[in-house]
Amino acid sequence: MDSYKITLSEQELPQEWYNLIPDLPTPLPPYLHPATGEPIGPQDLAAIFPMELIKQEVSQERWIPIPDEVRRIYQLWRPSPLHRARNLEAALETPARIYYKNESVSPAGSHKPNTAVAQAYYNKAAGITRLATETGAGQWGSALALACNFFCLDCTVYMVRVSYQQKPYRRSLMHIWGASVYPSPSDRTQAGRHILARDPETSGSLGMAISEAVEDAATHPDTNYSLGSVLNHVMLHQTITGLETKKQLALAGEEPDILIGCVGGGSNFSGFCFPFVPDKLRGKEIRLIGVEPTACPTLTKGAYTYDFGDTAGLTPLILMYTLGHSFVPSGIHAGGLRYHGDAPLLCLLVHEKVIEARAYSQNPVFEAARLFAETEGIVPAPETAHAVKAAIDEARVCKETKKAKCIVFNFSGHGHFDLAAYDAYLEGKLEDIEIEPDEMIKLALADLPKIKK
């Protein structure tokens, strides 16, 4: 019988996360202090992060044990299934074998709880009682609300204003799990008030919401900040997806030719691909493709330079591809992909040409999502649909070249709370944001911080 799903038992849940840092082809440049231009130390981060996460951020250990308390919560939905997309393959008449790792089975509907649960655990262990965070489309906010609910922590979420309006049911989900949710920019923080004074009609951005959450955490001793992507420890926690996928592909007797994921801050893509990077560095022919929106083309059009992680300039300086921390992307429905920068680990690998990047606009992405929903049944989140589109494009290339490649992508989340976006697509009302934001990028890049030497 042809199988559609490759599953692992709960006993096969990985016991350790994989840390790519010791296996990098070149060392990862440090975060810098904006005032001095010097590398920051653990104490600089201790005001808003627990020490265990700070240690993970810089760890040189290849394998980091997953605490039992975290594994027990993972077990509620993990290991997640790896699906063979046989119906999609048939519809495309491709000789390619397409697989997708289904992270939409988590309670919050995406990969985000993989790090939310770990972060809530380490903060609780450090005696923190509240976490503050930002969220774009609401996937990360709902994941952290879920995790805080399990560990009895309060949770404050600054939700990008355009998504707060577009996705009311994500808000409901966060409320069910006990979080407080505010549209960002808000008047609760100095950063928010400052932005509102300059531009009262702003649609908001992840950079602005990060400024608000960081300020909230830094000004309350019982509160820490929690970030849903970008940082090394977030990539680390997400490697659970790639590690499971490796085991599942081995069970299916497969070696991947192409691995694909969408990129917002880089966590689902990195967690999925990083366990395969050492294979590639040892000479295995695997293409790793990160996919982003043309409306926020960080990897494909950004500059590789030090920049702030947030709009107000409260974070350390990070070496990454960036569109400039003042860049405000248009209000596309893939709200989780509207971030001006990307994870430094991922950016280093793009810079070293280990990872490729490409960008798509909204309508072709939704067209691919619809074909996926028609054939495989699951409605992808608009973010995830970027990966779906790339997988379909690669499968079509296989049809032309008659090559039977093994294409595997990370299905990072479902779109059950994004149905207004699908309505807009079906009614032909979705704008293709092809404004070629080159001018906006140029302006935002002119605003880059000057590094003191």
Ligand X SMILES: Cc1ncc(COP(=O)(O)O)c(C=O)c1O
Residues that bind ligand X (CB under 6 A): 110, 136-137, 139-140, 229, 262-269, 336-337, 381, 383-384, 412-413
453: Cβ–Cβ under 8 A, 6 or more apart, which residues? 37
Cβ 229 to ligand X shortest distance, Å: 3
Cβ 108 to ligand X shortest distance, Å: 9
CB closer to ligand X, 78 vs 97: 78
DSSP per residue, 224-279: EE--SSSSHHHHHHHHHHHHHHHHHHHHTT---SEEEEE-SSSHHHHHHHGGGHHH
Q: Check if the beta carbon of residue 361 is closer than 8 Å to that of residue 286.
A: no
Cβ 384 to ligand X shortest distance, Å: 5
Helical (H) or strand (E) element with 173: helix 168-176
CB closer to ligand X, 139 vs 186: 139
Cβ 451 to ligand X shortest distance, Å: 26
Q: Check if the beta carbon of residue 36 is closer than 8 Å to that of residue 26.
A: no
Residue 23: both structure tokens together: 């296996």
Selection from 407, 426, 410, 419 nearest residue 367 by Cα: 426
CB closer to ligand X, 269 vs 327: 269
Cβ 100 to ligand X shortest distance, Å: 13
CB closer to ligand X, 196 vs 357: 357
- CA distances to 41, 190, 317, 319 from 314, rounded to whole Å, are 16, 12, 9, 15
CB closer to ligand X, 144 vs 196: 144
Cβ 452 to ligand X shortest distance, Å: 30
Cβ 275 to ligand X shortest distance, Å: 16
Selection from 87, 69, 64 nearest residue 123 by Cα: 69
CB closer to ligand X, 196 vs 259: 259
Cβ 338 to ligand X shortest distance, Å: 9
CB closer to ligand X, 224 vs 229: 229
CB closer to ligand X, 34 vs 290: 290
Q: Which long-range contacts (CB under 8 A, 24 or more apart) does 163-167 make?
A: 163/135, 163/136, 163/137, 163/138, 163/204, 163/335, 164/204, 166/331, 166/333, 166/335, 166/420, 166/421, 167/137, 167/138, 167/335, 167/417, 167/418, 167/420
Cβ 270 to ligand X shortest distance, Å: 8
CB closer to ligand X, 50 vs 336: 336
User: In whole angstroms, what separates CA 78 from the centre of its chain?
Assistant: 18
User: What is d(CA 351, CA 246) in angstroms, rounded to the nearest whole number?
Assistant: 25
Helical (H) or strand (E) element with 160: strand 154-160
CB closer to ligand X, 383 vs 393: 383
Residue 326: both structure tokens together: 């003042």
53: Cβ–Cβ under 8 A, 6 or more apart, which residues? 119, 122, 123, 233
Cβ 316 to ligand X shortest distance, Å: 19
Residue whose beta carbon is closest to ligand X: 336
